[in-house]
Amino acid sequence: MIAIFFSAMFAGHIYIIIIVTAVQIISFKEVIAISNVPSRARSLRFTKTLNWYFLGTTMYFLYGESVIYYFKHIILVDRVLLPFATHHRFISFMLYVIGFVFFVGSLQKGHYRFQFTQFAWTHMALYLIVVQAHFIMNNIFEGMIWFFLPVSLVITNDIFAYICGITFGRTQLIKLSPKKTVEGFVGAWVFTIVFGILLTNILMRYKYFICPVNDLGATFWTGLECTPNPVFIPHTYQLPFIPPNWTHLPTKVSVAPMQFHIVIFATFASLIAPFGGFFASGLKRTFNVKDFGHSIPGHGGMTDRMDCQFIMGFFAFMYYQRWVFRTMRS
């Protein structure tokens, strides 16, 4: 799986988009499945159909929004695609309304509670998985670094939380995950920050990672061309509190602003993102299941591996849009 991931990342953005799409579909299927009651689902033949219909409708809306925004220079000049782009939101709304009307029309006496539970559960899964995965998709379009860094930070934090926990962990962190310790939690935070700074320093050297997508056919070897965002350009900062007579110490340092941003990213990945995992643990306990599924043999379901990634990707997009985004795209 690691080899497939890195091969896809270096082969081009389109392959990572395909992987993210597959992950969200599998995760949606797993989350929907744990609340399902097979005996009732069999007697209500449209239950699963509606689940997948709402998934398709939501993906059509979200993917359409991204494609229109990032590739409007192509979409808006195509005679076939222009009507779909112009009326995209209305079309998406009507598709949802059709599903809503169909759901109401399929209600059967004696199954109301189950059907409304499934309806609510489906929408929760759409929000927690599909909507958040949409922002991860946008991160890819903004530049591979905004996708790869958050993913790497969550994985690194998980690894070091385990290492620090078994090495010197003593104090239980949260009852939902008895093996998580305060010492592992804090230790992983420190190591994640160090790893994030080092990895950022490497990725910033390659335009393939820092440039927004302007060519879906680009690969790591062909590269991308753009005017780098100022956050990737080193700035010189005056060091405070350095006495003038201490000539052996530098008074200035050259650092790219991205190095400061990555500390915030690493902190979120260490202190907040794990609560996505705790949330998933609570959900599994509610339904008395060990794993969300068996998509990954020996490692449970896809959702078990991605529970922290969704909220981290969501944060990365929001942070980028607020503090990093530059209106001029090259």
Write the pLDDT tens digit of every residue in 253-264: 889 999 999 999
Look at residue 29 in the predicted model and tell me its pLDDT. Answer: 93
Question: What percent of the residues of the chain are helix, what percent strand, and what percent coil, each to the nearest 5?
Answer: 70, 5, 25
For residues 274 and 312, the answer to whether their CB atoms sit within 8 Å is no
pLDDT tens digits, residue range 58-73?
A: 999 999 999 999 888 8
pLDDT tens digits, residue range 197-246?
A: 999 999 999 999 999 998 888 999 998 999 999 999 999 888 777 777 77
- 42 pLDDT band (50/70/90 cuts)? low
- 36 pLDDT band (50/70/90 cuts)? confident
Q: Is pLDDT of 327 > 50?
A: no
Q: Is pLDDT of 111 > 80?
A: yes
Look at residue 219 in the predicted model and tell me its pLDDT. Answer: 93
- 39 pLDDT band (50/70/90 cuts)? low
State the burial class of residue 195 (Cβ atoms within 10 Å of its Cβ: 0-12, 13-18, 19+). buried
CA 168 vs. chain centroid, Å, equals 31
For residues 281 and 177, the answer to whether their CB atoms sit within 8 Å is yes
Look at residue 1 in the predicted model and tell me its pLDDT. Answer: 79
Better pLDDT: 248 or 282: 282
Q: Is pLDDT of 182 > 80?
A: yes
CA-angle at 79, arms to 77 and 84, nearest 5°? 95
Look at residue 330 in the predicted model and tell me its pLDDT. Answer: 42
Q: Is pLDDT of 186 > 80?
A: yes
Look at residue 238 in the predicted model and tell me its pLDDT. Answer: 80
CA dist 311 and 279 (Å) reads: 11
For residues 88 and 64, the answer to whether their CB atoms sit within 8 Å is yes
Percentage, residues of the chain above pLDDT 70: 96
Better pLDDT: 257 or 177: 257
Residue 319: count other Cβ atoms within 10 Å of its Cβ.
17
CA dist 241 and 249 (Å) reads: 11
Strand pairing class (235-238; 177-181): unpaired
Comparing C-alpha atoms, which of 185, 183, 172, 323 is closest to residue 260?
Answer: 323
For residues 103 and 50, the answer to whether their CB atoms sit within 8 Å is yes
Q: Is pLDDT of 33 > 80?
A: yes
Look at residue 237 in the predicted model and tell me its pLDDT. Answer: 85
- pTM score, two decimals? 0.91
Look at residue 328 in the predicted model and tell me its pLDDT. Answer: 40
Average pLDDT over the chain reads: 90
Q: Which amino acid is at 60?
A: Y
Q: Is pLDDT of 324 > 60?
A: yes
Look at residue 40 in the predicted model and tell me its pLDDT. Answer: 60
Look at residue 37 in the predicted model and tell me its pLDDT. Answer: 63
Residue 300 CA: distances (Å) to CA of 40, 159, 208, 229 = 26, 17, 33, 40
Mean pLDDT calculated for residue range 98-104: 96
Strand pairing class (177-181; 172-174): antiparallel
Which long-range contacts link 292-297 to residues 24+ away (Cβ below 8 Å)?
A: 292/27, 292/30, 292/31, 292/33, 292/34, 293/26, 293/29, 293/30, 293/33, 295/26, 295/30, 296/1
Q: How many CA atoms lie within 13 A of 229 on its CB side?
A: 23
pLDDT tens digits, residue range 276-307?
A: 999 998 998 888 888 888 888 777 889 988 98
Better pLDDT: 42 or 121: 121
CA 314 vs. chain centroid, Å, equals 6
Better pLDDT: 223 or 45: 223
Q: Rounded to the nearest 5°, which phi and psi values hold at 86?
A: -65, -40
